[in-house]
Amino acid sequence: MNEITNFLKKRRSVTAKSMNAGHVPLDHLNEILDCGLRVPDHGALNPWKLNVIQGDARKRIGAQIFAKQYKLLNPDASNEDLLYEENRLERASIVIAVVCTPVNHPKIPAWEMELSSGAVCSNLLIAAQSLGYAAQWLTEWYSYNEEVLKEFGGDPKTDKIAGFIYIGNKQKEPIERRRPIKNKIINFIDK
């Protein structure tokens, strides 16, 4: 056991709903981004793009993209619902949108590039949590919306949003959640 495994065994996400928006200093943000990019990546193809949504962009994207798309999908949405969409990204100090951008490769399937994008999300999440931030990996409805994907530089023909990593301040320490029962999941193969 060491500091890293001890942390990994105990780390928890804090829901975007229960975090406070604050400030992430640039050195912390860079640390988080460096960890996010340091992931296994078959063929070193870098099949991902990161969008760091901060400051006024949180409100702009909420109003111009999320609320508008939500209204198109839900014509009967209430003003309260639309306001929620408008303010969605402002739940956090910073939100990192991770887009999987697979390339055509003769040997490496797109699936592996998608897995690598998940690893980017995981590393961003874990790095932010290790620095003491509240952080959560969310997809929600807007990860599956073409206009949202385009806003973040994705091509709907090939690309997908792997997730939005919300990073903010904790109001309180999260409580533990139900964890997998090891022997139901892990099969040791000895012979």
- H/E stretch holding 136: strand 134-138
CB 141 → ligand FMN: shortest distance, Å? 8
161 SS3 class: strand
Residues 134-153 interacting with ligand FMN (rule: CB under 6 A) = 136-140
Give CA–CA dist 26/31, Å, rounded: 8
Query: CA angle 131-136-141, nearest 5°?
Result: 155
Joined tokens for residue 169: 């301040």
CB 12 → ligand FMN: shortest distance, Å? 4
Q: Is residue 128 a contact partner of residue 166, using CB atoms and an 8 Å limit?
A: no
CB 26 → ligand FMN: shortest distance, Å? 25
Residues 1-20 interacting with ligand FMN (rule: CB under 6 A) = 12-13, 15
Nearer to ligand FMN, 18 or 105 (CB): 18
CA atoms within 13 Å, Cβ hemisphere of 141: 11
- From residue 153 to residue 182, what is the string marking binding to ligand FMN with x (rule CB under 6 A)? ----------x-------------x-----
Q: Does 126 bind ligand FMN (CB under 6 A)?
A: no
Give CA–CA dist 100/116, Å, rounded: 8
Give CA–CA dist 64/68, Å, rounded: 6
Nearer to ligand FMN, 157 or 177 (CB): 177
Joined tokens for residue 94: 């910073």
Nearer to ligand FMN, 105 or 169 (CB): 169
Residues 52-91 interacting with ligand FMN (rule: CB under 6 A) = none
Residue number, nearest CB to ligand FMN: 13
Residues within the interface to ligand FMN (CB under 6 A) = 12-13, 15, 136-140, 163, 177
